[in-house]
């Protein structure tokens, strides 16, 4: 999926209200049209979440295909696992990209050595010619700084080449470090360089150089010890983050090097072989007259050949290790920056954000054309003409979008796979401005997908629902997020696993956070009552079922509390639910079901389609709302209920942010009325949530 070209904020320094935390030199891309900031990166910067810059020369020139692509994807996964957003930087077709899609990474990896190595000197030329440019440490630092990214992870920095005292061959990385305030996390300088002179040059440029770990020994890429020393060593990510923050507080316009030694288990077994290979390769380069930008890839390739691939394995291992350490530093730095503004006016706004936890789904519909070959029903075993559509879906996701569009600004917790569908869903949400930091990518899994096959008149023939991803939303992780954010209001959908739901409810009960439960289906509404009823009473204050789901909830309560209504233990939930259809549904008694469910959940807001909405308090009907207008020719009913509930969450979270105690019935009428208007808008669009939905629904 192609994401939108987007400009950086006019004042990137406003990403952190304490301007000392960011350099005052952020100006160029604020009005530049050549920058494409990936929506996920842009949203992370806006929300002051940790972002890690990654260079692209290591992809094009550092490794052969396909190892380069595999390594790039693995490094981005590691960054995400550590709670950060990766921002691989490159120039593609004359556009400066901050954050690459998988297709972009594939293109860069296949281009390989044909990509133009791009430092500060080359940047304008590469952009003007519209070619592919792989940014070096120098080029990546420059672009990262302009984008407001303070931490950059790479393999190793360039330096003074051997014999540089005569050739004056000094990498632009070193001068960039002297004038660009970005922290570079690396494995030191490559051993093909003159490390002693490299460190001397960095000192002259005023660059802070520290080693990570228990020793101040400066690493030499493949080996943890070069024989030379940094000015200090820092043992923890927090200490490194404090150093970066101090550099910004002082407003130094120079960068720093945090040198991370390669883990001993990943270092070549015989380091002397690497050093001998380097010396032999340098001698060969001199003999062949190889100089300038061509020398580094030549030397690395020769070292790989001489060591029979051992150096490449070490290269990949150290890059991954740097990514893990660098991401932890970035996360700590973001936390320290955000801690510095915790007493600002933004803290109250952050505390008012509701949390929505639920499923994210790619909805796919295939509708057969109406033709003589179908005769009303498509034939099996062959293909038919028709139309296919993809859209964003998932009850939790739809609720989160509706909440966002009506001013709720929710923190949405969900999970998607590490696949194209997951990329597309995150890009679409981030492109709309939603906070996607709570969406976890699960490596090796597919994004939840709902694939419906429709007849030409729109009626469903059959559908395939692959919802296994929902089980990957981990209850302990979500509990930690709730404790960290302490939202005023939490909403969950019925797609979560029993264990995850239970852990969320326990955490909310412990912290006195009201919970809204959106059932999503009759079987999931029924299963809620498999949990301890005292826990449900202590946590869930609202439920938003339709009439069928309300009946299922009532039967769930009855069958759990009255053995006479239950079935033998070997019967599964589906069988128990089928038995209940002849009882609770057969009664056709809305009040009776409300009375039963009201024993556990005090406020029930029943979605009744054309009949409107019913509000019940403590087992009794308190209010009813009729639709403002009836739509006989609606475009799609998908998402109408979710739009209503997401809007309701906006109203409820605002109440709990500003007031103590439960909202009055009149408040609930107002919130539900706004939700009905959101649902009506959804009916008239093929999207689950109408793009035109806004805060105005609360003002009518």
Contact 599, 648 (CB under 8 A): no
In a domain, 31, yes or no: yes
My answer on whether 142 and 283 are in the same domain is: yes
Of 444, 605, 484, 474, the closest CA to residue 540 belongs to 605
- Residue 563 has a pLDDT of 55
- Residue 309 has a pLDDT of 67
In a domain, 623, yes or no: yes
My answer on whether 331 and 368 are in the same domain is: no
- Residue 611 has a pLDDT of 85
Q: How far apart are CA 231 and CA 329, in angstroms?
A: 19
Residue 92 sits in a domain of what CATH number? 3.40.1790.10
Query: Who's near 348: CB < 8 A, 6+ residues apart?
Result: none
My answer on whether 354 and 290 are in the same domain is: no
My answer on whether 133 and 205 are in the same domain is: yes
My answer on whether 336 and 351 are in the same domain is: no
Whether the model clears a pTM of 0.75, i.e. scores above it, the answer is: no
Q: How far apart are CA 3 and CA 435, in angstroms?
A: 16
> Is 293 noted as a catalytic residue in this protein?
no
Q: Please tell me which residue in 40, 43, 55, 176 is annotated as part of the active site.
A: 55
SS3 content of the chain, % helix, strand, coil (to 5): 45, 20, 35
**Proportion of the chain above pLDDT 70, given as a percent:** 83
In a domain, 208, yes or no: yes
- Residue 20 has a pLDDT of 34
Helix orientation angle between 67-81 and 310-340, rounded to the nearest 10 degrees: 30
- Residue 583 has a pLDDT of 57
In a domain, 530, yes or no: yes
- Residue 293 has a pLDDT of 64
In a domain, 1, yes or no: no
Structure tokens at 472: 């990957």
Give the 3-state secondary structure of residue 366.
strand
In a domain, 146, yes or no: yes
> How many structural domains is the chain composed of?
2
My answer on whether 124 and 271 are in the same domain is: yes
Domain of 535, in residue numbers: 347-373+383-698
- Residue 27 has a pLDDT of 40
My answer on whether 154 and 238 are in the same domain is: yes
Residue 541 sits in a domain of what CATH number? 3.40.1190.20
In a domain, 420, yes or no: yes
Contact 157, 189 (CB under 8 A): yes
- Residue 571 has a pLDDT of 58
Q: Please tell me which residue in 117, 190, 320, 524 is annotated as part of the active site.
A: 190
Residues of the chain with pLDDT under 70: 1-32, 162-167, 270-275, 292-293, 295-296, 300, 306-309, 339-351, 371-377, 458-459, 562-572, 574-588, 628-634, 636
My answer on whether 210 and 300 are in the same domain is: yes
510-528 confidence digits (pLDDT tens): 999 999 999 999 999 999 9
Q: How far apart are CA 14 and CA 5, in angstroms?
A: 21
Q: How far apart are CA 55 and CA 311, in angstroms?
A: 20
> Is 680 noted as a catalytic residue in this protein?
no
Neighbour-count burial of 458, counting CB atoms closer than 10 A to its CB (0-12 exposed, 13-18 middle, 19+ buried): exposed
In a domain, 64, yes or no: yes
Q: Could you tell me the CA-to-CA distances from 475 to 74, 82, 478, 488, 535 in Å, in that order? A: 25, 18, 5, 19, 15
My answer on whether 225 and 271 are in the same domain is: yes
My answer on whether 353 and 336 are in the same domain is: no
DSSP 161-191: BTTHHHH--B-HHHHHHTT---EEEESBB-T
My answer on whether 290 and 353 are in the same domain is: no
Q: How far apart are CA 133 and CA 100, in angstroms?
A: 13
Of 501, 538, 499, the closest CA to residue 519 belongs to 501
- Residue 212 has a pLDDT of 96
Of 19, 156, 140, the closest CA to residue 86 belongs to 140
My answer on whether 302 and 354 are in the same domain is: no
């Amino acid at each position: 999926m192609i994401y939108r070209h987007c400009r950086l904020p006019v004042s990137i320094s406003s990403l952190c209200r304490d301007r000392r935390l960011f350099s005052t030199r952020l100006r160029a891309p604020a009005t530049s049209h050549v920058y494409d900031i990936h929506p996920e990166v842009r949203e992370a910067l806006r929300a002051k979440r940790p972002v890690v810059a990654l260079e692209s020369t290591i992809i094009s020139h550092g490794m052969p295909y396909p190892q380069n692509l595999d390594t790039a994807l693995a490094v981005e996964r590691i960054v995400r696992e550590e709670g950060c957003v990766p921002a691989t930087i490159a120039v593609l077709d004359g556009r400066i990209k901050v954050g690459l899609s998988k297709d972009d990474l594939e293109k860069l990896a296949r281009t390989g050595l044909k990509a133009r190595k791009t430092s500060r000197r080359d940047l304008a030329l590469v952009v003007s010619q519209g070619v592919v440019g792989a940014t070096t440490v120098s080029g990546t630092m420059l672009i990262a700084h302009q984008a407001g990214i303070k931490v950059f992870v790479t393999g190793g920095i360039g330096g003074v080449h051997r014999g540089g005292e005569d050739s004056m061959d000094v990498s632009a990385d070193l001068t960039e470090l002297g004038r660009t305030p970005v922290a570079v996390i690396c494995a030191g300088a490559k051993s093909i360089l003159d490390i002693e002179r490299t460190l001397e040059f960095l000192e002259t440029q005023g660059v802070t150089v520290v080693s990570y770990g228990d020793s101040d020994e400066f690493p030499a890429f493949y080996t943890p010890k070069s024989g030379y020393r940094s000015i200090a060593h820092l043992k923890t990510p927090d200490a490194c983050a404090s150093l970066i923050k101090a550099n910004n507080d002082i407003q130094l316009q120079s960068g720093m090097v945090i040198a991370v030694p390669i883990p001993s288990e990943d270092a070549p077994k015989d380091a002397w072989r690497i050093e001998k290979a380097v010396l032999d390769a340098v001698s060969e380069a001199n003999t062949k007259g190889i100089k300038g930008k061509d020398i580094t890839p030549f030397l690395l390739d020769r070292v790989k050949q001489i060591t029979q691939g051992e150096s490449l394995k070490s290269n990949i291992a150290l890059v991954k290790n740097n990514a893990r350490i660098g991401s932890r530093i970035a996360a700590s730095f973001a936390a320290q920056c955000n801690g510095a503004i915790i007493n600002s006016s933004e803290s109250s706004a952050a505390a008012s954000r509701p949390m929505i936890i639920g499923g994210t789904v790619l909805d796919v519909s295939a509708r057969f054309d109406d033709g003589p070959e179908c005769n009303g029903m498509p034939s099996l075993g062959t293909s038919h003409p028709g139309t296919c559509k993809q859209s964003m879906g998932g009850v939790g996701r739809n609720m989160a979008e509706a909440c966002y569009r009506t001013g709720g600004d929710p923190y949405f917790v969900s999970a998607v796979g590490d696949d194209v569908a997951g990329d597309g869903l995150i890009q679409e949400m981030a492109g709309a401005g939603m906070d996607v930091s709570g969406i976890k990518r699960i490596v090796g899994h597919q994004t939840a997908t709902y694939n419906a096959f429709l007849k030409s008149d729109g009626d469903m023939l059959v559908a395939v629902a692959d919802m296994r991803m929902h089980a990957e939303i981990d209850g302990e992780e979500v509990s930690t997020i709730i404790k960290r954010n302490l939202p005023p209001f939490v909403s969950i959908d019925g797609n979560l696993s029993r264990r995850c739901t239970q852990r969320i409810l326990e955490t909310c009960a412990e912290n006195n956070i009201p919970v809204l439960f959106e059932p999503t289906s009759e079987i999931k509404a029924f299963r809620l009552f498999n949990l301890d009823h005292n826990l449900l009473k202590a946590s869930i204050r609202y439920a938003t079922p339709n009439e069928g789901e309300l009946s299922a909830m009532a039967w769930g309560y009855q069958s759990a509390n009255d053995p006479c209504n239950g079935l033998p233990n070997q019967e599964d939930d589906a069988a128990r639910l089928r038995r209940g259809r002849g009882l609770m549904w057969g009664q056709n008694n809305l009040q009776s079901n409300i009375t039963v469910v009201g024993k556990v959940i005090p406020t029930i807001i029943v979605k009744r389609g054309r009949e409107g909405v019913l509000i019940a308090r403590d087992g009794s009907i308190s209010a009813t709302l009729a639709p403002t207008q009836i739509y006989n020719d609606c475009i799609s009913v998908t998402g109408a209920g979710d739009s209503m509930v997401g809007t309701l969450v906006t109203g409820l979270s605002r109440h709990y942010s500003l007031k103590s105690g439960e909202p009055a019935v009149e408040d609930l009428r107002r919130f539900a009325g706004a939700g009905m208007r959101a649902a009506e808008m959804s009916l008239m669009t093929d999207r689950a949530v109408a793009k035109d939905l806004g805060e105005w629904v609360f003002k009518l």
